[in-house]
Amino acid sequence: MMFLSSWSVVLALGTLVSALPKRECAHTVKESVRPPRGWSKVQPAPADHVIELRIGLPQPNFATLEKHLYEVSDPFHERYGAHLSKEEVDALVAPHSESVELVTEWLTSHGLSEGSMSRSPAQDWVTVKVPVSLAEKMLDTEYHVWSHEASNASLVRTTSYSLPDYLHEHIDLIQPTTLFSTWRGMKSTIHSSKAVQPGTTNNAPPIKVPTASGGEVDASCNTTITVSCLKQLYNAVDFTPSGKDGNQIAVTGYLEQFASIADLKLFYEDQVPAAVGTSFKVTSVNGGQNNQTESEAGDEANLDTQFAFGITFPTPATFFTTGGSPPFIPDIGTPTDTNEPYLQWLEFILAQNDPPQTISTSYGDDEQTVPVNYATRVCNLFAQLGARGVSLTFSSGDGGVGDGDPDPATQECFTNDGRNATRFIAGFPASCPFVTAVGGTTFVPEVAIFFSGGGFSNVFPRPSYQEKAVTDFLDKLAPGTYAGLFNPYVQAFPDVSAQSNDFRIFLEGEPVLIGGTSASSPTFAGFVSLLNDARLSKGLPPLGFLNPLIYAIGAEEPSAFNDITVGNNPGCGTPGFNSSEGWDAVTGFGTPNFGKLKEIVTSGKTLGRRHS
C-alpha cells in the first residue's frame, strides 16, 4: 500500500528528533465510555488503518472569552455588538506554552516530526495522522471496528484511552477515540420527498393571519410552503436586502450531500424569478465535493440552499461542502479514516478572517452519543464564532422528546450509562447554549409539528439568559410531570421555531415536497440574515450570537415572535411537552415576525428595563 511507504517517510523524519528526552511515566485512563446502544464490536482495527488524531489542549482563558461573548451579545450591555476580532479570540483560547511544549515533546517521542503536526491558529488543537498501531501505543489502548445496525455505519473506535500522567492537565481530549456519532441530517423520514405536480394551485381565499404581511397568507401555504409563503407569514414581503453591504449567508453540507445548481435554477424560476441566472459560491473543506450529476443531487443540500438563499436573494451565499463521511468499510481497505468531518469544518471556519455572518446547519446527533468533553469543546468552538459576530442556527431534531427516530412508536429512549433507564433524549449540537436551536411548526395558522425536537440537555448547565423563560414554562407543568425523564435545571431547547413541513423544492429536475427541522433551520437563518442586512445597511454591526437577544425580546417584546400555543412533541412513549404561551420546549418563543424584529434591531436602542 502507498500508505506504508509514506508512513516510512514520517518515521524517518522522526529519527531526527529521536535524541529528545523521553519521559518515563505510567499511563492512566483519560476517558472511558460505554459503547452507545446499537453499536457492536466487529473486529480489531487494521493495524495500518490511518487515523487523523485531533488533540485538544486546554483553554485556560475560556471563561474570559465567555464573558466577552455575553457582553457583546447582551442588548442591554454598553458593549452590545462590539464583536471581537479573529486575533482577539485566538489569543483568548490559546493554551499555556507549557501545554504546547509538553504535547509536542510527547508526539516527537513517538517519532512524529513537527512538519507532520497541523496546528489551529490559536494552537489549541494539534492534528496528526498515524496508523492504528501507533495510536494504540500512544494511547495504551486497542481500536476496533464497530458497526451500527440501524444506519449501516462503521467506525474505528475505542471505548477507553490513557495518557502519561504528566499530560492529563495538558490535554482535554483526543478524538477519534470514544465518539460514536452517526451525524445525520434532520430530515423527517415521515414527511419527505413527496412528488408533486408542477404548477399546483389553490384558488381558495387567503387565510387571515393578523401578524402576516398585509394580514393574510395565500391558502396554498397550508399544503405547500414556498419562499413567498414564508415571507408573507413572517411579515417580510416588503423588504429587499441590499446584497452590497457586506452581508453573507451560508449553509453547511456533509455526508456527500451535494447542492444542485441545475435544481436551484428551476427553483428560482418557480419561486424567485429575480434570482434566475445567479447561483452560490461553493467552498470545499477537507476535499468536499459538490458533484453536479443529476442523480447525485441531495435532498438535504437542495432544501438548505434553495430556501436559505431564496429567502435572502441577492445576499451573497456560500455552500460549505465538507468531505469525509461514514461508513468506513473495513474490507475495502480504506486507507484513511474520514468519518469525523464536523471538527474539520469548525477548524476551517475559525481560521477564516471574514466568515459569513449567518450560518445554518441541519445536522446533528443524540447528545448521549457524544462524550461530554467532546461536546463541551465543540460547544466552545461555537462560542468563538459567536464572539466574532456569527449567528449559528441548528435544527432541533426530528424525534420530539425522543431520539432521532421521528416515529414515536419505534423510539428507544434509554441511557448509555449501563442502567438502560428510560430518559428523554436531547439532540446535539441543538443542546449547546452557544447556538440557536430551531424547532418546527406546520399549517397556517401555525401549530407545533409533532416531530419538533425539544427538551433538556444532560450535559450543559442552564445559561442565565434562559432562566426566567424556562422557569416560567416549568412552573406551568403539573407537579411530577415526567419526573426522572429529564433534568429541569439545565439548558433547554429549542430557542425558536419555523415552518418545517411540505417545503416545495426541486430535486433531480422535479418538484417534491420535503420536511423536517432541516427546513426550519435554514428558514430561520434566512430571516436572521435579512435582519443582519437591515443592520449593516444602517452602519450597525451584525447580530452575532442570538440567544441573549432572543430571550430579551421574548420577555420585553413578545409580539416580535408568533407564539405557538397548540401542539406537542411526543416521544419515548409519552405525549412529550405541550406548546404554551411564551417559551416552551416544543417551539421555543415561536416563529419570527420579521417586521417587528427589524424595528427592534435597527433602532439602536436597548429593549428597556433589564430582567433579573
Binding residues for Ca(2+): 563-564, 582, 584
Q: Given the C-alpha cell 524517518, which residue does it identify?
A: 12
Amino acid, single-letter form, for residue 81: G
* C-alpha cell, 290: 459538490
Cell numbers at 84, concatenated: 471581537
Please confirm, yes or no, whether 304 is among the known catalytic residues: yes
Q: Up-side HSE of residue 283: CA atoms within 13 Å toward CB? A: 16
Q: DSSP of 129-172, one letter per residue?
A: EEEHHHHHHHHT---EEEEETTTTEEEEE-SEEEEEGGGGGG--
Is 256 an annotated catalytic residue?
no
C-alpha span between 385 and 513 (Å, rounded): 33
Grid cell for residue 269: 424560476
CA dihedral 375, 380, 383, 385 (to 10 degrees): -90
The dihedrals phi and psi of 200, each to the nearest 5 degrees, come to: -60, 130
Indicate which residue of 263, 299, 300, 347 is catalytic: 300
Per-residue b or e along 243-282, where b marks 16 or more CB atoms closer than 10 Å to that residue's CB: eeeebbbbbbbbbbbbbbeebbbbbbebbbeebeebebeb
Q: Measure CA 460 to chain center.
A: 15
- Host H or E run for residue 208: strand 207-208
Q: For the chain, give percent helix, strand, coil, nearest 5.
A: 35, 20, 45
CA angle 14, 16, 17 (to 5 degrees): 75
- Give the three cell numbers for residue 7: 508512513
Among residues 181, 144, 520, 517, the alpha carbon closest in space to that of 378 is found at 181
CB of 578 closer than 8 Å to CB of 585: no
Binding-site residues, please?
A: 563-564, 582, 584
CB neighbour class for 206 (10 Å; exposed up to 12, middle 13-18, buried from 19): middle
Q: Looking at residue 214, what DSSP letter applies?
A: G
* Residue of 395, 518, 520, 580 with catalytic role: 518
Rounded CA-CA distance 262/270 in Å is 13
Locus of grid cell 452517526: 182
Q: How far apart are CA 252 and CA 318, in angstroms?
A: 9
Residue 410 CA to residue 341 CA, distance in Å, equals: 29
Cell of 94: 490559546
Q: Residues 136, 263, 270, 304: which is the catalytic one? A: 304
In this structure, the number of other CB atoms found within 10 A of the CB of residue 9 comes to: 11
Whole-number Å distance between alpha carbons of 277 and 465: 43
Q: One-letter amino acid identity for 191?
A: H
**Three cell numbers, residue 262:** 441545475
**Is 581 annotated as catalytic?**
no
Nearest by Cα to 217 from 236, 194, 241: 236
User: In DSSP terms, which residues pair with 366 in a beta bridge?
Assistant: 427
Other beta carbons within 10 angstroms of residue 204's beta carbon come to 11
Q: How many CB atoms lie within 10 A of CB 145?
A: 20
What is the Rg, in whole angstroms, of the alpha carbon atoms belonging to the chain? Answer: 24
Active-site residues: which are they? 300, 304, 518
